[in-house]
């Protein structure tokens, strides 16, 4: 973007909003919004506390386990749906319902099924993330050129080699896009899960700070979470760019 | 030029004496209600380049893929070197119209891929691949990726991959149709050199009459759907002449004209 002939750096818009936040905070108009500088000071102090570190470890743990199963199941289901019409007919409607359904509403039911512990959070992460991975993998598999599959068959590829050396690699750009979107949804899932269970990790801290109107720490927690989610997404986007060179060829 | 008309087709379809690499016996193909091929009987002489030529939708690519074992025939059978085949096999290698290269793999890995699937060790398959990369004129491009190559060069990779597995029969499905005109001419000349060098059986599908006459020992013309053998022609062109001389040869031009007269009625 250029403004008055000058090239504006990419993060400049963020700076504008930071300044506005600081000004609103300093004016003291809303007690819900403390000055950004206070929030940042709180963030630095927060990450050094044992409470935050324990919460972060719990949260990360639930998130990673949930994402692991979401990616595994998502890719397997996506491949099956992309390759076999019968599976696609059988599961397609459910995947499409769940990908757009307000899954937060299901969390209380999950609590009945899986208890008030980490398992519920893991299942929430899984349910938030898995459907978009299924859909993107399916799209990727369906986009694999038929001639590549025929090539594998005519040169004697075993079914395992056909999938491992050709089909999955050819669908990799879409699979990665699905995982990136799944990660973003998984972060939502972990926070919503923990908030509703409300005695675990980040959710517990959110509850604690918002109930006590400890807005500096509340916002510090939020900023750290947003930064982590954006960082993860950017990391996968970076991997996506590396495989982009062959997506363009198809 | 030797023109074998449809009346004598059954005699010509089974050339006496010559070694036969691929036999097609009573092959029919139905796509649900549509009849793509009707009782095709055809022999492909070993060590020769035979072209399947015909109007679009005549089933020439279908026939080639049935020979490759990629799609099943509704009835009839295919014999390669005397043995009936039902699926793909190592004695046949396929060259694809859209190249079918793996975009994430280098030229070297693409060419060696058939050998990789056979479980050959890395050093061995790379040395074989290097030889064929050199033979198709891509030396120096071993570590390039397909998107860094022109269409003509990509198809050279596809050809090298087919040569590398050392199959007896090479099946080429409109290999030059996605290559621009100038590259195509050069490629056709190179192909003829490789046909003479490799002593393999080539089955070639094209819709270009000039290409068919220029490259083939034998041209099988298929009629419009349902595909049947309409005519078999042996151009009998002296290939020791230079490529440019062949393209101005009266026999070459007459053959092109004759095929065009035969095919004209199929064009809308």
Q: Does some domain include residue A50?
A: yes
Query: Per residue in A114-126, pLDDT tens?
Result: 888 888 899 999 9
Report the residue of chain B nearest A154, measured CA to CA. Answer: B88
Q: Does some domain include residue B98?
A: no
Q: Which residue has the higher pLDDT, A181 or A104?
A: A181
Instruction: Give Cα separations from B61 to A246, B41, B65 (angstroms).
Output: 27, 16, 6
Q: Does some domain include residue A158?
A: no
Q: Does some domain include residue B114?
A: yes
B259 and B174 fall within a common domain: yes
Q: Does some domain include residue A63?
A: yes
Q: Does some domain include residue B228?
A: yes
- The domain of A55 spans 38-144+172-244
Q: What is the reported pLDDT for A198?
A: 65
Segment A170-185 mean pLDDT: 92
Strands B49-53 and B218-222 come out as parallel
Look at A151 and B92 and tell me if their CB atoms are within 8 Å. no
Q: Does some domain include residue A163?
A: no
Last residue of some domain: B166, B183, B205? B166
Look at B70 and A147 and tell me if their CB atoms are within 8 Å. no
| Model confidence band, residue B18 (pLDDT cutoffs 50, 70, 90) | low
Segment B78-86 mean pLDDT: 87
Q: Does some domain include residue A108?
A: yes
Query: Per residue in A55-78, pLDDT tens?
Result: 889 889 999 999 999 999 999 999
Of B68, B98, B147, the CB nearest to A145: B98
- Domains identified in chain B, total number: 2
Residue B25 sits in a domain whose CATH number is 3.40.50.300
B185 and B252 fall within a common domain: yes
Segment B116-141 mean pLDDT: 89
| Model confidence band, residue B7 (pLDDT cutoffs 50, 70, 90) | very low
B71 and B121 fall within a common domain: no
Mutation site, B96, B163, B170, interface A, largest A CB count within 10 A: B96
Shortest CA gap A172–chain B (Å): 10
B85 and B178 fall within a common domain: yes
A202: nearest Cα among A111, A114, A121:
A121
Residue A109 sits in a domain whose CATH number is 1.10.3720.10
Report the residue of chain B nearest A249, measured CA to CA. Answer: B147
A123: nearest Cα among A197, A181, A55:
A197
Q: Does some domain include residue B44?
A: yes
Cis peptide before A188 (omega within 30 of 0): no
Q: Does some domain include residue B57?
A: yes
Segment B126-149 mean pLDDT: 88
Look at B102 and A245 and tell me if their CB atoms are within 8 Å. no
**ipTM value of the model?**
0.86
Residues of A in contact with B161 (CB under 8 A): 155
B44 and B119 fall within a common domain: no
Look at B97 and A147 and tell me if their CB atoms are within 8 Å. yes
Of B65, B96, B147, the CB nearest to A151: B96
- The domain of B128 spans 105-166
pTM summary value: 0.82
How large a percentage of chain A has pLDDT more than 70? 96
Gap between the terminal Cα atoms of chain B: 28
Q: Does some domain include residue B258?
A: yes
Q: What is the reported pLDDT for B8?
A: 45
Q: Does some domain include residue B100?
A: no
| Most confident stretch, A27-36, A164-173, B204-213 | A164-173
Model confidence at A216: pLDDT above 90:
no
Structure tokens that stand for A51 in this block: 């409470």
Residues of A in contact with B114 (CB under 8 A): 155-156
| Model confidence band, residue B265 (pLDDT cutoffs 50, 70, 90) | confident
Mutation site, B117, B160, B170, interface A, largest A CB count within 10 A: B117
Q: Does some domain include residue A232?
A: yes
Q: Does some domain include residue A4?
A: no
Query: Per residue in B209-224, pLDDT tens?
Result: 888 888 888 888 888 8
Model confidence at B35: pLDDT above 50:
yes
- Domains identified in chain A, total number: 1
Sign of CA dihedral A143, A146, A152, A153: positive
């Amino acid at each position: 973007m250029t403004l008055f002939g000058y090239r504006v750096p990419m993060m400049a818009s963020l700076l504008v909003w930071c300044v506005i936040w600081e000004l609103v905070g300093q004016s003291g108009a809303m007690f819900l919004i403390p000055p950004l500088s206070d929030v940042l000071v709180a963030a630095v102090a927060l990450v050094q506390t044992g409470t935050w570190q324990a919460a972060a470890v719990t949260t990360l743990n639930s998130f990673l386990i949930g994402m692991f199963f979401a990616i595994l199941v998502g890719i397997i289901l996506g491949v099956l749906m992309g390759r076999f019409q019968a599976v696609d007919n059988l599961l397609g409607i459910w995947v499409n319902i769940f990908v757009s359904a307000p899954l937060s509403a299901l969390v209380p039911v999950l609590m009945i099924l899986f208890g008030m512990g980490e398992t519920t959070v893991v299942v929430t992460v899984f349910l938030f993330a898995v459907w978009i991975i299924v859909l993107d993998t399916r799209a990727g598999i369906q986009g694999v050129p038929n001639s590549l599959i025929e090539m594998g068959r005519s040169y004697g590829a075993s079914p395992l080699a056909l999938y491992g050396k050709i089909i999955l690699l050819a669908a990799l750009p879409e699979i990665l896009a699905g995982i990136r979107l799944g990660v973003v949804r998984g972060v939502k899932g972990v926070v919503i899960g923990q908030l509703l269970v409300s005695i675990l990790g980040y959710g517990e801290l959110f509850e604690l700070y918002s109930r006590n109107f400890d807005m500096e720490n509340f916002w510090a927690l939020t900023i750290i979470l947003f930064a982590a989610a954006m960082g993860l997404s950017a990391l996968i986007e970076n991997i996506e760019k590396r495989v982009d060179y062959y997506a363009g060829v198809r | 030029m030797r023109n074998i008309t449809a009346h004598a087709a059954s005699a010509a379809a089974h050339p006496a004496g010559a070694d036969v690499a691929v036999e097609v016996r009573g092959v029919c193909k139905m796509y649900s209600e549509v009849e793509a091929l009707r009782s095709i009987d055809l022999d492909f002489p070993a060590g020769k380049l035979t072209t399947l030529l015909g109007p679009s939708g005549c089933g020439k690519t279908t026939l080639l893929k049935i020979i490759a074992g990629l799609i099943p025939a509704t009835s009839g059978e295919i014999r390669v070197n005397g043995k009936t085949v039902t699926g793909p096999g190592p004695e046949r290698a396929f060259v694809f119209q859209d190249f079918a290269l793996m975009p994430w793999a280098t030229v070297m890995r693409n060419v060696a891929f058939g050998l990789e699937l056979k479980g050959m060790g890395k050093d061995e398959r790379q040395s074989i691949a290097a030889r064929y990369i050199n033979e198709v004129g891509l030396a120096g491009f071993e570590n390039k990726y397909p998107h860094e190559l022109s269409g003509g060069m990509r198809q050279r990779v596809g050809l090298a991959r087919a040569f590398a597995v050392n199959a007896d029969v090479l099946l080429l499905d409109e290999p030059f149709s996605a290559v621009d005109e100038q590259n195509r001419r050069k490629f056709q000349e190179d192909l003829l050199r490789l046909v003479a060098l490799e002593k393999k059986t080539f089955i070639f599908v094209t819709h270009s009459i000039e290409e068919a006459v220029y490259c083939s020992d034998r041209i099988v013309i298929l009629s419009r759907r349902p595909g049947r053998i309409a005519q078999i022609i042996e151009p009998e062109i002296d290939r020791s002449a230079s490529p440019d001389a062949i393209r101005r040869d009266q026999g070459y031009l007459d053959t092109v004209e004759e095929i065009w007269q035969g095919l004209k009625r199929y064009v809308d």
